[in-house]
Amino acid sequence: MAFAEAQALAADLVSLPWDTERVARAALEVATVLLAASPRVAWAGERGNEGVWWVDAAGLGSEPTLAARLGRLARGLGFGRARAGIADSAIAAYAAACGRPGAGRKHTTAAPGIVPPGDDNAFLAPFPLALIAPHEDLAETCHALGLRTVGQFAALDADEVEARFGPEGLAAHRLARGFDTRGPTTPRDDALPVIACDLGSPVATAEPLLFVLKGALASLGSALRAKGLAAREIALTLTLDDGSTAEKTVRPARSTSHEGALFDHCRAAFEGWALPEPVTALAVRATVAVPASGEQGDLLAPRWADPAALEAAFDRIRGSEGADAVAQPLVRDGHLPRDAGAWRTEELAAATPTRDTAPALTLGAPPNRPAAAALRLLQAPAPVRVRLSRFGLEAFHHGETWHDVTAWSGPERLAPRWWIGESAGAAGASLPAGPRDYYSAHTAAGTLWLLFRTGASRQWFVEGWWD
Amino acid sequence: MTLPQLHIVLPERLQRFVPAARRGLAFGIPALDALLPLGLPRGQITALDAPLGSGGTALLLALAEATLRADEGVAFVDAARTLAPQAAAHLAGLGPFWVIRPRGTESAWWCADVLLRTGAFGLVIVDQAPTPARPVAVRLQRLARDKDAALVVREAGVPPGQRERKAAAATPHGATVPGAALVLSVHSAQDGFIPAAPGSGAAWPAPRPVRVVIEKGGAPRAAEVSVGDPLPHRLRPHWAVRDRRGGRSGGGVSGRTQRRRAVQPDWSASP
């Protein structure tokens, strides 16, 4: 409507120039009042959306209560028809405040629109395309293609939209799918912590350095935890007496903020680090950090510990004893005693199954049964000497002792996995090829041993015992 | 009532006054739980004097299973790295069960220290580790007390031929773990075995009877539990793994008979 037409309808109509500062001042007053309901409030400020404020509703309890409070505050300011919408994204909250399509553009009630978590995409689908305010080219093309609703536009392939309409089209497509970066924001401190220590006088030995390092890592861990982070990689920088610097990077097996685990890794980095000059200063900084994993504790659980602390403990053990030192047992469908189980370590879980790896089985709890004797396996089959009679196995020599056999069972012929080599004994000699005859032998000392004899060379080996 | 009778009766009477959550850990084996009515003590070290092959591992795994079923975490430090994974695989599905396999047996105590400090485990088992020094044992006992966990220690196995020498060198209670509040000795009895028939594979007719005796920390009582399934002719697969090595039948001779004929031991050709 032109101004003249409007003036013809309302004779007392006054035309004032747009005063950006005045509008901003009014918006600030409203935002100040709304701060009583939420600590983070932002004015949308876009042309056409001057009457929109974004309010952070996260962690403030009941959403209907918050919406009602916002409505009361707005009415107190004289905005009697103010409406609130709550959703995961700003665009969906805006749409919820506007009301569902078909229900009329103008609300007759001040009831807030609340979109359930995760439903933004579906909620936005029936709205007209004008909701996302597409630019002219995009709007014309969509109209020509018969795309009328947000849902129809959101169903298009994002790559094709970007290829056709560029970054603006992609931004509109993201809005249509409920991804909206608008909303109240606060400045973030993204700088990763750095702890620097001046040693005072040059230090030429490792002990004082490690002492200072331990304190520095404790401070670094505290700083990381304060930010909710865990170090994936830390840099250890030493300033030498001649002014030069030496740096090493330490990468824990798992991201952690535990000073003990970090110290173990840094101490390992110090080993074999030849420094040409004494050290005058030390600095540790987290170069790569990831959000620390957290888990809500169970008040009623008989025993609950912080998973991060447990992971840190495992990390310390892995760092000292090897990556396979912490494991969980699993059973495999292997025919050899040594192949019937495996240890699930971090590496095994990440590895892709190969043909040499029998499929792992998922087991539930076994049925009620008496305590079953457990098989113990030597690190590698150990060659043994045996004494035989016409009745069979009489004794075998293992561990500098002759074991008298009182009863034996067997043989059971099993073919080993010939396609992979196996070693035997402490020297790591290769096991003879060919099928094996397995025996279990009960000795006079009360131990039930597992032995086998290789078919080709007729050598005897002890593989383990039942305990 | 005599003193030994009091020793026997008192724990059972006291059990009524101890809250269930504060009781010790149960084995889940009726005979052993009757032997230890208050369970394995929390905050203390329990030593298990179990020679190789006596069934000690079976008892430890039964204890771990009962603890896991009580919603508590279990850490098993396998110092000798000899535990076959299939023997403990059923425990991994019951709760937080972790096996620590250090590079050397000496590291087992450090691992136990780290694990106890987490407070995540109600039971920490150290299996096949060398005897700890007294300061180490005291530190571990204090950690177990602070974290309300039970620490069960089974010392490194001694070859059967040296068992008598070890017994002579041990303390009067047979305990070599300093500061152990409870010492249990485990010995397998051979009575349940039938000697092999000459020239044929003999099968064990019954589970092994294992005798558990309280050597220290309670009334000197003993219990006999049965450990292990009857050992079939074949190697025992895991209970959940289907045995796919079925023999071919035909000609009136079963597959098993065919296979036994095919692999009859040739004793004369052995070295």
Residue listed under structure tokens 């079963």? B254
Which of A341, A445, A465 faces B85 most closely, judged by CB atoms? Answer: A341
Is A445 close to B161, i.e. CB distance below 8 A?
yes
**pTM tops 0.80:** no
Amino acid symbol at A109: T
Of the listed ranges A125-139, A358-372, B212-226, the least confidently predicted one is A358-372
3-state secondary structure at position B102? coil
Which sequence spans correspond to the domains of chain B? Answer: 23-269
- Chain B: give the shortest CA distance to residue A444, in Å: 8
Is B263 close to A412, i.e. CB distance below 8 A?
yes
Distance of CA B64 to the CA centre of its chain: 9
Which of B54, B86, B97 faces A375 most closely, judged by CB atoms? Answer: B86
Nearest-by-CA chain B residue for A402: B161
Is B238 close to A322, i.e. CB distance below 8 A?
no
| CB contact B262 to A (< 8 Å) | yes
- pLDDT score recorded for residue B138: 92
Of A366 and A279, the one with more pLDDT: A279
A467 contacts on B by Cβ (under 8 Å): 50, 52-58
- pLDDT score recorded for residue B150: 93
Of B218 and B223, the one with more pLDDT: B223
| CB contact B76 to A (< 8 Å) | no
Does residue A379 surpass a pLDDT of 60?
Answer: yes
Does residue A266 surpass a pLDDT of 50?
Answer: yes
Q: What is the mean pLDDT of chain B?
A: 73
Which of A302, A309, A373 faces B227 most closely, judged by CB atoms? Answer: A373
Q: Please report the sign of the dihedral spanned by the C-alpha atoms of residue A116, residue A120, residue A126, residue A131.
A: positive
| CB contact B55 to A (< 8 Å) | yes
A345 contacts on B by Cβ (under 8 Å): none
- pLDDT score recorded for residue B251: 31
Is A445 close to B117, i.e. CB distance below 8 A?
no
The topology (CATH level 3) of B23-269 is Rossmann fold (3.40.50)
d(CA B211, CA B32): 10
Distance of CA B106 to the CA centre of its chain: 21
Nearest-by-CA chain A residue for B188: A446
Domains and CATH numbers, chain A: 20-176 (no CATH), 194-291 (3.30.1490.100), 328-361 (no CATH), 375-466 (no CATH)
d(CA B51, CA A446): 9
Secondary structure (H, E, C), chain A:
CCHHHHHHHCCCCCCCCCCHHHHHHHHHHHHHHHCCCCCCEEECCCCCCCCCEEECCCCCCCHHHHHHHHHHHHHHCCCCCCCCEECCCHHHHHHHHHCCCCCCCCCCCCCCEECCCCCHHHHHCCCEHHHHCCCHHHHHHHHHHCCCEHHHHHCCCHHHHHHHHHHHHHHHHHHHCCCCCCCCCCCCCCCCCEEEEEEEEEECCHHHHHHHHHHHHHHHHHHHHHCCEEEEEEEEEEEECCCCEEEEEECCCCCECCHHHHHHHHHHHHCCCCCCCCEEEEEEEEEEEEECCCCCCCCCCCCCCCHHHHHHHHHHHHHHHCCCCEEEEEEECCCCHHHCEEEECHHHHHCCCCCCCCCEECCCCCCCCCCCCCEEEEEEEEEEEEEEECCEEEEEEECCEEEEEEEEEEEEEECCCCCCCCEECCCCEECCCCCEEEEEEEECCCCEEEEEEECCCCCEEEEEEEC
d(CA A37, CA A42): 13
Of A282 and B8, the one with more pLDDT: A282
Which of A313, A370, A437 faces B114 most closely, judged by CB atoms? Answer: A313
B71 contacts on A by Cβ (under 8 Å): 301-303
- pLDDT score recorded for residue A370: 61
Is B99 close to A328, i.e. CB distance below 8 A?
yes
Q: Find the mean pLDDT for residues B59-69.
A: 92
- Chain B: give the shortest CA distance to residue A292, in Å: 18
- pLDDT score recorded for residue B233: 44
**N- to C-terminal Cα distance for chain B?**
65
- Chain A: give the shortest CA distance to residue B54, in Å: 6
**Cβ atoms of A442 and A407 closer than 8 Å:** yes
- pLDDT score recorded for residue B252: 32
Is A370 close to B227, i.e. CB distance below 8 A?
yes
The pair phi, psi for residue A43, each rounded to 5°, is -85, 135
Does residue A208 surpass a pLDDT of 60?
Answer: yes
- Chain B: give the shortest CA distance to residue A324, in Å: 7
B94 contacts on A by Cβ (under 8 Å): 365
Q: What is the mean pLDDT of chain A?
A: 81
Does residue A132 surpass a pLDDT of 80?
Answer: yes
Q: Tell me: the pLDDT tens digits for A235-256?
A: 999 999 888 889 998 887 677 8
The pair phi, psi for residue A224, each rounded to 5°, is -65, -45
B68 contacts on A by Cβ (under 8 Å): none
- Chain A: give the shortest CA distance to residue B61, in Å: 8
Q: Tell me: the pLDDT tens digits for B108-148?
A: 999 999 999 888 899 999 998 888 889 999 999 999 998 88
| CB contact B167 to A (< 8 Å) | no
